[in-house]
Amino acid sequence: MDATQTPSPKPTGDAERVTPMMAQYIEIKTANPDSLLFYRMGDFYELFFEDAEIASRSLGIVLTKRGKHQGADIPMCGVPVERAEEYLHKLIACGHRVAVCEQIEDPAEAKKRGPKSVVRRDVTRLVTPGTLTEDALLDDRRENVLAALARQRGGEGAGEDGYVYALAFADISTGSFRVIETHSGRLAADLARVEPAELLLSDPVYDEADFREIWRSLPAVTPLPKESFDGAGAERRLAGFFGVATLDAFGAFSRVELTAASAVVAYIERTQLGGRPPLAAPQREAATDIMVIDPATRVNLEILRTTTGDRAGSLNAAVDRTVTSAGARLLARRLAEPLTDPARIAARLDAVEALVEDAELRAGLQQRLAGAPDLARALARIALGRSGPRDLAAIGRGLAEGTAIARLLLAGEVGEELHANALLFGAVDPALPALLATALADELPPYRRDGGFTRAGFDADLDAARALRDESRRVVAALERRYAEETGVKSLKIRHNAVLGYYVEVSQQNADRLREPPFGAVFVHRQTMAGAMRFTSTELGELEAKIASAGERALALEQAIFDRLAAAILLEAEAIRAAAGALAVIDVTAGLARLAVEEGYVRPEVDGGLDFRLEGARHPVVEQALRRDGGPFVANDCELSPPEDAKGRAASGRIWLVTGPNMAGKSTFLRQNALIAILAQTGSFVPARAAHIGVVDRLFSRVGAADDLARGRSTFMVEMVETAAILNQASERSLVILDEIGRGTATFDGLSIAWASLEHLHEVNRCRGLFATHFHELTALSQRLARLVNATVKVKEWEGEVIFLHEVVPGAADRSYGIQVARLAGLPASVVARAKAVLTELENADRAAPAQRILDDLPLFAAINRAPASAAPVELAKADPAAEAVKTALAGIDPDEMTPRAALEALYQLKAAARGR
């Protein structure tokens, strides 16, 4: 059972008594029915009833019992407070929500109300997948996004369903906050880009049948009442959260965008119970600013993760040379959402180029960056009251390193983007890092409750309290020496026991000395012993009280110092957040520059045209893998730019039809061109000798074979669904990568689908594309499709062996070499021999002839070839006499008046008319 469905224990009636502690638990659980309740009891968080059963299964811990409720044993399990984060991580990963219930009262105060009084407890935090801030619960190289989806009917930008949607997404662990308007057709692509850890949406949207597959693909979806997405009070709620009278300074937002952003803020306030993370003001993104990449394409191209979910082997892993966690997160975001504005892309490329050309500056920056902590996440924990001394130190150290990095950048010629980010460090009060360095010790404990994090000499009162706590013997000995000197009684001793505490002891002979003036006013007789007398003094009593409370006082003083330092940091929160963002940008830029130098990448030319020209291009991931194995990577050119016509340039880009055997490298070639487009529009240099790319608005990829049996989809069905999405959405500015369309069904069915799809891409979508196939019949289309170019992957046969050269050249393959590949895979020799014999018989049938007949005789092709890209489905180009005869015969038939015999005769007549062709 999911935690969101956990039933609360029913309150008991008067017939059964419940312990005060269990009554308190039931009351708090009833108020939090959708969460597992971590109920603090001493050094453990305990769970009861069905919460315990769920936690026991999810965490693999022992389920016990405690007392009875309504006649049945109460299930119970618990986790140590010291290891709570570890268990929270597991529960969140299982999709549960957790309400953390802490003691909010000193046990001594509870005892004053009576011996059986229960310490007051309450929920101090709701832990959900999208609201995590602790390092132990987060991946330091990935954002942890909380998103909300709102919609409204009608308006500009509405999709086919008549609604406009908006996504607001925030990472409370770093403070980023963005909103974007979208529609039903690209909603899946936007969610795949954002990768929310938790998505908030209204109950009606959650129940939409058309979106259920999208919701199932997300790690956590939280339906909320429709009232949570009320647009009427959205602007007021946002203004209140950010402490402003109006949102005008933040920019112009649509009503649906404000509704989504307000839902995020309301959920944060609810889960953080009054804590306010340092969120940036919401930034509005235009839908046209970012390359659209649908979920299937992201999976096929393995941009951030491989198809198995691993980071290793992905594009992100191959190009990541960042040295900070914030830089790694920013690089992943940039790869997930490449830009479509050539000016912004050029600004990023300028910054990378500046560091490519200045090796000394690049090395110096990365050396400094390696010592910079995660400012943004430390700041968020401080703002939410979940920080420790190490977070304070991280702010100080990060600002100090950032200031040094800014000086390095401002001393050189680094371009506008790096220069602007360097200037951001000047907005932080320089006294803050100095204060933190002075206040904090070199060795810091993980938790503030441990104390010992303040540097000696920073606070005189704290030093004195520590001296009493840690050096009480020395302090008492010093007082003893002073008393002995002042009274002249050399044998005077200060001793301690459990009854009297600290006391002064002298022999009977010297007792009168302490009774005489002026000492009689200082020392007070406490006890007479055989041969000795014991006294106390006001000073000794005060010292004893100080010694007894020194530890508590020292810890209290340190907590006050911690709060003071945290307050000083939060006064600079906005400037610190900007500085954290600047460090991430600098780290990404330096990392991409290092990548370019190490891997031999070049700066691409990116503009608003339709060019796509790569010379000597390589696959960024496969190249590195081959190098590790000691093998070379064969570079290839790719030219998808519009061909020149009589007027200088055709309106649309080329499509390459790539043929060649299995294992020759067709899929690698297709993917590398798509990945290079992503890198270029991310603002990175690319693996090629030269590159000129006109901005790609949408990237589509259908590569590989996979089924989706959970949703009742075969491999072929998945292939067709993804192909349909491409043919319905690709535009002239899109880049389409298609591999082996139609291979999942019967040969002639598959050939027909591939044929028609290729025509549609050329004539209707008019996009730039790469189309790999084993249907060699398709190469005949190049005779009639002006922008279709045949290309093949070269192979060489040598003494019965096939050698893959991995070189893409103009032309068409005449065979697939599938039998040779099968032999390499280890098929029995008898099977290989029989396959060769069958192949020879099939090849004698001359399969090329049907393809030529289609080109010559199918009138639909000629009509499509002349139709504009936006034309509706076309009619036949010319009348077919046989078809007209059939139409005439059908028009004279009245099925309702025909006898079975007459119907049979009519069928024969229709067949004869059709044969008249």
Please give the DSSP secondary-structure letter assigned to residue 761: I
User: Is 665 annotated as ligand-binding?
Assistant: yes
The CA-CA-CA angle for residues 625, 626, 632, to 5°, reads: 150
What is 266-281 written as a DSSP string?
Answer: HHHHHHHTT----PPP
How many Å separate Cα 744 from the centre of its chain?
Answer: 33
**Nearest CA among 619, 653, 854, 668 for reference residue 772:** 668
For 697, the 3-state DSSP assignment is coil
User: Is 663 annotated as ligand-binding?
Assistant: yes
| End-to-end CA gap in the chain | 67
The CA-CA-CA angle for residues 656, 662, 667, to 5°, reads: 45
Token reading at 78: 């618990």
- Helix, strand, coil shares of the chain as percentages rounded to 5? 50, 20, 30
SS (H, E, C) 627-638: HHCCCCCCCEEE
User: Is 426 annotated as ligand-binding?
Assistant: no
How many Å separate Cα 4 from the centre of its chain?
Answer: 23
Token reading at 497: 């026991």
**Nearest CA among 32, 71, 26 for reference residue 49:** 26
The CA-CA-CA angle for residues 283, 285, 291, to 5°, reads: 145
What is the rounded distance in angstroms from the CA atom of residue 651 to the CA atom of residue 661? 33
742: left (phi over 0), alpha (psi -120 to 50) or beta: left
In the block, tokens 């801030």 appear at 133
Q: To the nearest 10°, the Cα dihedral for 768, 774, 777, 778?
A: -10
What is 113-172 written as a DSSP string?
Answer: T-TTPPPPEEEEEEE-TTS---GGGS-TTS---EEEEEEEESSTT--TTSEEEEEEEEET
Token reading at 611: 């060019």
- Please, is 105 exposed, middle or buried when counting C-beta atoms within 10 Å of its C-beta (0-12, 13-18, 19+)? middle
Q: Are strands 735-739 and 698-702 parallel, antiparallel or unpaired?
A: parallel
What is the rounded distance in angstroms from the CA atom of residue 489 to the CA atom of residue 493? 9
What is the rounded distance in angstroms from the CA atom of residue 755 to the CA atom of residue 777? 9
Q: Report long-range pairs for 447-452 (Cβ below 8 Å, ≥24 apart).
A: 447/388, 447/389, 448/387, 448/388, 448/389, 448/558, 448/559, 448/562, 449/555, 451/554, 451/555, 451/558, 452/558
Cross-strand partners of 102: 122
Token reading at 242: 């950010």
SS (H, E, C) 801-838: EEEEEEEEEECCCCCCCHHHHHHHHCCCHHHHHHHHHH
Inter-residue contact 438 to 455 (CB < 8 Å): yes
What is the rounded distance in angstroms from the CA atom of residue 471 to the CA atom of residue 658? 82
What is the rounded distance in angstroms from the CA atom of residue 650 to the CA atom of residue 657? 19
User: Is 664 annotated as ligand-binding?
Assistant: yes
- What's the length of the chain? 917
Inter-residue contact 50 to 82 (CB < 8 Å): no
Please give the DSSP secondary-structure letter assigned to residue 461: H
Q: To the nearest 10°, the Cα dihedral for 254, 258, 260, 265?
A: 160
User: Is 661 annotated as ligand-binding?
Assistant: yes
Residue 775 φ then ψ, to 5°: -80, 90
Annotated binding site: 660-667
Task: Point out the annotated binding site for ATP.
Answer: 660-667
